Chain A
Amino acid sequence: METLMDLGQKIISIFEAVMDMNFTSEIIPMLIMWAIGGTLIYLAIAKDMEPTLLLPMGFGTILVNLPLALTEGVISEHGAIEVLYNAGVANELFPLLLFIGIGAMIDFGPLLSNPKLMIFGAAAQFGIFFTLFVSSLFFPINEAASIAIIGAADGPTSIFVASELGSQYIGAIIVAAYSYMALVPIVQPPVIKLLTTKKERRIRMKYEGKAVSKRTRILFPIVVSIIAGVVSPQSAVLIGFLMFGNLIRECGVLDSLSETAQKVLANLVTILLGITVARNMNAASFLKWETALILGLGLVAFIVDTAGGVLFAKLLNLFLPEGKKFNPMIGAAGISAFPMSSRVVHKLGLEADNQNFLLMHATGVNVSGQVASVIAGGMILSFFA
């Protein structure tokens, strides 16, 4: 009976606390965040934009903005989301586990058969460093670096780097990174078209499709991990987990583990990651002018990444003879957003010439962008962590 009385008292005190909420400083921000959460869910379901992450994030956004979520609910000290956050995001465990899944999903074959394409993956990271420079005008250098990594066009890398640098804007950074990745088919084409002529978009590239030996496929993840670890130690853990996943895929004796990493592990971590990163989407930390600025800077990063890749290809073409020139559009696929970016380039190639098949070249550049973006993340960490 006493317990029931206590429970009643508790419910009454919560009800009173809710009734005491200030309309302008608490209720309106809460409603705005519900609307943002609803928008993310809408984009995920109706527009199929990165649904695996935007849906959990949208729902999590609503969850962490429920009345008294901060003091009594999901993000209080022992709340479920806070516990998950500390267990998987604050210590960067979830992004690394996700990298094993991503590594197991990637076929580096197109890159291994034409390794020189990897240079475009490097060039397309220019947006990261350009954005670092611009962001430093508005934010402390560590925050600027966290924001710049949106240009990696790679969610786990963004989460890892922003967490490692202790960014207070991690919520906005993750929203920007995943939103723009989903918007690659909208963001990239105008930039590519602006920087290339129709004649350049028509350049055909012969695909030789050289066979890659199994030994090369197995040694590639090991060699890349060693090189990254020696040259850029801060990227060793990121590259290492990505390449570990790829080694499981390519070794040929761990098919069930490879399948588990690609499907079960990746899906499980994505579910937890999506809902957990929403912890930083509470009104107090998200509804700031800085958030709008971060979203703008993220867009700049994606645009400059694309431009960097395209212009670098055009630069190389100046020194190449006719018939050996690159279609400059493939440079844009170095942005890492895999596989959307390579599909965009392929589609634009077909638009300019219906017999211009760029998919394999673009895929090679795209997977190299995945590796290069992780190396860029390591570079950023080596400078600022």
Chain B
Amino acid sequence: MFNFFLLASAFSGIQFTTENIKEALLCSVAGMVGIFIVVGIIILSVSILNKAGTGKKKDDK
């Protein structure tokens, strides 16, 4: 597989490099974790908003 990449790189002029792999991997993991955190906070906020809305309706009744 590695040889295939090297061959393709030589043919196309695109450099195959592993020097960014660690940074990319760390950012990928951090990115996914970050999205889940932000989305989790949004879910929590919407649930609170919904609960508050329902509570208000009950109060109105």
Alpha-carbon distance A210/B23, docked complex (angstroms) = 44
Alpha-carbon distance A232/B50, docked complex (angstroms) = 24
Q: What 1/0 flags go to A113-150 for Cβ under 8 Å of B?
A: 10110110110011011101101111011001100000
Identify whether the interface residues of A are mostly helix, strand, loop, or mixed. helix
Alpha-carbon distance A220/B9, docked complex (angstroms) = 48
Neighbouring A residues of B32 by C-beta, 8 Å: 122, 125-126, 129
Q: Are A375 and B39 in contact (CB under 8 A)?
A: yes
Q: State whether A129 and B31 are in contact (beta carbons under 8 Å apart), knowing that A141-B23, A231-B38, A371-B42 are contacts in the complex.
A: yes
Q: State whether A219 and B49 are in contact (beta carbons under 8 Å apart), knowing that A115-B43, A122-B35, A227-B42 are contacts in the complex.
A: yes
Whether a CB of chain B sits under 8 angstroms from the CB of A307 is no
Contact partner, A379, options B35, B40, B43, Cβ 8 Å: B35
Contact partner, B31, options A115, A223, A289, A380, Cβ 8 Å: A380
Please name the residue on chain B nearest to A137 by beta carbon.
B16
Whether a CB of chain B sits under 8 angstroms from the CB of A293 is yes
User: How many residues on the A side are at the interface (Cβ–Cβ under 8 A)?
Assistant: 49
Neighbouring A residues of B54 by C-beta, 8 Å: 213
Q: What 1/0 flags go to B19-51 for Cβ under 8 Å of A?
A: 011011101111110111111111101110110
Q: What 1/0 flags go to A208-219 for Cβ under 8 Å of B?
A: 001011011001
Alpha-carbon distance A136/B14, docked complex (angstroms) = 12
B18: min CB distance to chain A, Å:
7
A240: min CB distance to chain B, Å:
14
Neighbouring B residues of A115 by C-beta, 8 Å: 42-43, 46-47, 50
Q: Are A220 and B46 in contact (CB under 8 A)?
A: yes
Contact partner, A215, options B30, B40, B45, B53, Cβ 8 Å: B53
Neighbouring B residues of A141 by C-beta, 8 Å: 20, 23-24
Whether a CB of chain A sits under 8 angstroms from the CB of B3 is no
Alpha-carbon distance A380/B28, docked complex (angstroms) = 9
Neighbouring A residues of B17 by C-beta, 8 Å: 137-138
Q: Are A116 and B28 in contact (CB under 8 A)?
A: no
Q: Are B21 and A118 in contact (CB under 8 A)?
A: no
Alpha-carbon distance A376/B36, docked complex (angstroms) = 10
Q: Are A224 and B42 in contact (CB under 8 A)?
A: yes
B52: min CB distance to chain A, Å:
8
Whether a CB of chain B sits under 8 angstroms from the CB of A238 is no
Identify whether the interface residues of B are mostly helix, strand, loop, or mixed. helix
Alpha-carbon distance A7/B29, docked complex (angstroms) = 62
Whether a CB of chain B sits under 8 angstroms from the CB of A248 is no
Q: Are A137 and B38 in contact (CB under 8 A)?
A: no
Q: Are A372 and B57 in contact (CB under 8 A)?
A: no
Whether a CB of chain B sits under 8 angstroms from the CB of A335 is no
Q: Are A379 and B31 in contact (CB under 8 A)?
A: yes
Contact partner, B53, options A121, A138, A213, A223, Cβ 8 Å: A213
Q: State whether A129 and B28 are in contact (beta carbons under 8 Å apart), knowing that A115-B47, A232-B34 are contacts in the complex.
A: yes
Alpha-carbon distance A92/B54, docked complex (angstroms) = 40
Q: State whether A136 and B24 are in contact (beta carbons under 8 Å apart), knowing that A122-B39, A379-B31 are contacts in the complex.
A: yes
Alpha-carbon distance A141/B50, docked complex (angstroms) = 41
B53: min CB distance to chain A, Å:
4
Neighbouring B residues of A227 by C-beta, 8 Å: 38, 41-42, 45
Contact partner, A138, options B16, B34, B40, B46, Cβ 8 Å: B16
Alpha-carbon distance A118/B42, docked complex (angstroms) = 9
13 A-B pairs with C-beta separation under 8 A = A115-B46, A122-B35, A132-B28, A135-B24, A137-B18, A141-B20, A141-B23, A213-B54, A216-B46, A224-B45, A232-B34, A289-B12, A384-B27
**Besides A136-B21, A213-B56, A384-B27, 17 new A-B residue pairs in contact (Cβ under 8 A), listed by A number:** A122-B35, A125-B35, A129-B27, A132-B31, A138-B16, A213-B50, A213-B53, A219-B49, A220-B46, A220-B49, A223-B46, A227-B45, A231-B37, A293-B12, A372-B35, A372-B39, A379-B30
